[in-house]
Amino acid sequence: MNTTKRIQLLLFLSAVNLTLMIPGGFIESRDFSHISAATLGIFNSFLTLLGIVSLFLIYCIGKQWKWAYKGAYICGISYFIVYTIDLLAIFPQSPTAMPTLLFNLEFLGTVLSIPLFLYAVRKARRLQNTPNQQQFSKSMYGFIGVAIVVGLGIIIFATTAAMTAK
């Protein structure tokens, strides 16, 4: 499997893994009702954006758009930070213990983030001095619009679910 395909696979697996952990879903059942709605909303917005951007980058990397590899390594760093701060109980803190399955998925996400970052950095450096050809199709704007609407729905659901005491 070449580097491009590895990056695409790691982005896909990371986005799916993150999606499984949406607050209020089957796995993330901790109580965050003590955290302000604004803080949770911002955090859930970041997580939603991270997942959607990861899926968007799969397409862009398939088109060999150079900037997409930089986006992929930023996603790799972001996944690493998000999971590490939660695994170390820095943020978000909860009076409810972290479920074992959530711990395992966050550990997996941390492990996936490392090769994602490393492969993306290596590919971005290789493409640094090559010409960049990029052109959005009209359907891409439609995809972006749908992603924004879906993202807002996820943010509202996740924030509301996280604020509900268990």
Quick: pLDDT tens for 98-130: 999 999 999 999 999 999 999 999 999 998 888
Distance CA 134, CA 154 (A): 30
Asked if 23 contacts 156 with a C-beta cutoff of 8 angstroms, the reply is: no
DSSP class of residue 99 equals P
Q: Assess if residue 29 is contained within a domain.
A: no
Q: Assess if residue 21 is contained within a domain.
A: no
Angle ∠(109,112,113) on CA atoms, nearest 5: 85
1-58 pLDDT, tens per residue? 899 999 999 999 999 999 999 887 789 889 899 999 999 989 999 999 999 999 999 9
Q: Assess if residue 23 is contained within a domain.
A: no
Q: Which domain holds residue 132?
A: 3-16+35-164
Position 157, amino acid: F
Query: What is the tally of structural domains in the chain?
Result: 1
Residue 64 region, left (φ>0) first, then alpha (ψ -120 to 50), else beta? left
pLDDT at 66 over 70: yes
Which distant-in-sequence residues (6+ apart) come within 8 Å of 20 by Cβ? 26, 27, 105
Q: Assess if residue 94 is contained within a domain.
A: yes
Q: Assess if residue 124 is contained within a domain.
A: yes
Q: Assess if residue 105 is contained within a domain.
A: yes
Q: Assess if residue 128 is contained within a domain.
A: yes
Q: Assess if residue 125 is contained within a domain.
A: yes
